[in-house]
Structures are given as structure tokens and as C-alpha cells.
Amino acid sequence: MIDTHAHYTDSRFREDIADILSRIDSSDEIEYVIEASTSIEDSINAIELAKNNKKLFALVGIHPSDADEIKVGWEDELRSLAGYDKVVGIGEIGLDYYYDDVDRDIQKDVLKKQLSIAAELELPVVIHDREAHKDVIDICLESGVRGVFHCYSGSIESAKQLMSKGDWYFSFNGVVTFKNASKVREVVEFIPLDRLLIETDCPYLTPVPYRGKRNDSFLMRETFKAIAEIKGISFEELERITRQNTLRLFTRMETF
């Protein structure tokens, strides 16, 4: 299994991060983990984790909720961080209108600049989209980059638009196991197998039957089982397909 989106720099892992990453490194179940970032500081920490753990790769980027806290020169710093070993993409970046606590124009500006950096460096992006579907899709398609909408919460129609006009993938996590997530399961059923990725977004969105506990990469087996059932294929076939998809999108992974 490959976990395409995790947050092991989160404070909830502070007490036992060494133990968890050691277990991942020695696990026969987990092949790779991609560590997502939310700020420049978090990007630096993600790179350090990837450097010191053979199965981890890193993303660098600024989350929309942190878009109003950036400092002068952040673009050059992000560009520099993207050149480090084991950095495989820019993310997570995007728009978040749910809380509306960061000015939308600021979010859009930071997103566009990061998409420009991704295009310049020919790196894929990992998109955070919360209650901002139209704006984020329009901006992403205009940029011409390729990437994945993580924790995809959009409609089938939006997915069709993205696939018809760009090279976009869709990632799903423990939400597919939730009782009230029938619409998400309908979208999973629609998404072509060659556009499908799987993630944890740990420590968040823990799958059933472990809801209420801290999520980690070992628990994504429940997500794989649920999606395999939805798609009518075996667990092993889903592992094979999502592995191919991950390496096709994050091409740098095969160079390390």
C-alpha cells in the first residue's frame, strides 16, 4: 500500500513519531508514504523526515489557511526546497472557504504563484479544496499543471471537467468508510481506476472501525478494502493499480 498524503509532522505524533516511522520502514504492508506540508517551516520538517526514513517522500507547499502568514521571499525559498532530494511535488496547496478566515484574494494569489512554481519545475501538485470547487478548478485548469485533488469532495461533474481538460487524479481516504458518505462512494465508483489514489490524511479522518482514534498509515487497509469492494476488484489488484498511478504522477519517486 502507498499512503499518498500524510501529516507525520503534526503535533499528535510528537510523542511516538520515531516508533511509528520505524514500524513503517520495517513493514511489509506499506511501500511508501508521501508527507504533505502546510507551510515553509512544515516543508523543511517534511524534508527532514523524508531524508531520515527510507519509505518517506515529501511535498513542499503552503496551505491556504497559512496563506496570510508568509514572509517576503517565500517563493524563492519554496523553489529552493522543491529541489531537495525526495521532494516529489508541491502541496498541499489550494483554497479553503469553509472558515473564511483568510482573505480569498490572498489565497488565490498564493495558489497561483505556487502553481507557477510547479509548472516551472515540472512538478505535480496536491490540491486542497474545501467549499471552493469552482474557483480552485478554474485556477488549476488555467495553470496547465497536473496533480491530484486530495480528499476529493467534489462532484462527478467536476471530476469529468478536470479529466477532460487536464491530467488530474483523485485521492480518497477513510471518509469512504463513513456511514453518511454515500455521495463520496458514488464518486469513487465513477472515478476511472487509472485516476485513483489512496491516502490517510493522518492523523485525521480515521476509517471505520477505528473512528475516534488517531489515524496512521497502517489503518488505510480499511480504506483499501472499502474502495476495492466499491470497484469490484481484489485488494491486491487495487494495490497494484494505485501503485502504478502514484508512480506515474509523482515521477521523481522512481529516481531515489
Q: Are 81 and 87 in contact (CB under 8 A)?
A: yes
> Cell digits for 198?
489512496
Global pTM reads: 0.97
Q: Whole-angstrom distance between the N-terminal and C-terminal Cα of the chain?
A: 18
Q: Please give the single-letter amino acid code of residue 33.
A: V
User: How much is the pLDDT for 207?
Assistant: 98
Average pLDDT over residues 61-73: 95
Cell 465508483, located at residue: 189
Cell 486542497, located at residue: 128
Q: Output Rg (C-alpha) for the chain, integer angstroms.
A: 17
**pLDDT confidence tier of residue 255, bands split at 50, 70 and 90:** confident
Strand partners, 93: 127
pLDDT in tens, 239-252: 999 999 999 999 99
Q: Are 4 and 227 in contact (CB under 8 A)?
A: no
Average pLDDT over residues 122-144: 97
CA distances from 138 to 115, 134, 142 (A): 12, 6, 6
Average pLDDT over residues 140-151: 98
The fold for domain 2-255 equals: TIM Barrel (3.20.20)
User: How much is the pLDDT for 100?
Assistant: 87
**pLDDT confidence tier of residue 256, bands split at 50, 70 and 90:** confident
